[in-house]
Amino acid sequence: MRCHGYLRVRSGLAITIAVLAACDTTAPTACTAVFVAMTVTVVDTRGAPVSDATVTSTLVRTGEILLPTWLGLPTGDAYIIVDDGSRDRLRASGDTVAVTAQRDADPSIAAMYFIDVPGGCHVHKVTGPDTLTVP
């Protein structure tokens, strides 16, 4: 959303109304060229980094697996759960993404994330853990 104009008014309510009236909701949003990737850190029960886990992200609404693009390469114990390559699959208002992490034949750990795409530009984690602990 882009807003134009400037109005100097002393009343807080009048300023709010003036700002909202000056907004053009039909104007296109300008997105940055930054490529955003949401990551999760995977550790074992001792808190040591895990670099050999399998992390899978599923868009709950459709059942589709969200794969990271080649631009979002994982590093060490940080695993990509969603990146900008999936932004066209996610609703701007947000979607629930189920993430599972598993190591070898051990039981998997699951977590739920809510990820939106404000203005249709970049993925943004609203809720969900930063770290997953696998057995």
Chain segment 30-60, per-residue pLDDT in tens? 788 889 999 999 999 999 999 899 999 999 9
Q: Domain extents for the chain? A: 1-30, 37-134
Chain segment 78-101, per-residue pLDDT in tens? 999 999 999 999 999 999 999 999
d(CA 91, CA 114): 11
pLDDT of residue 30: 78
Give me the architecture of the 37-134 domain, per CATH.
Answer: Sandwich (2.60)
DSSP one-letter code for 11: -
pTM of the model: 0.75
Inform me whether the pLDDT recorded for 76 exceeds 70.
yes
Question: Which contiguous run of DSSP H or E holds residue 14?
Answer: helix 12-21
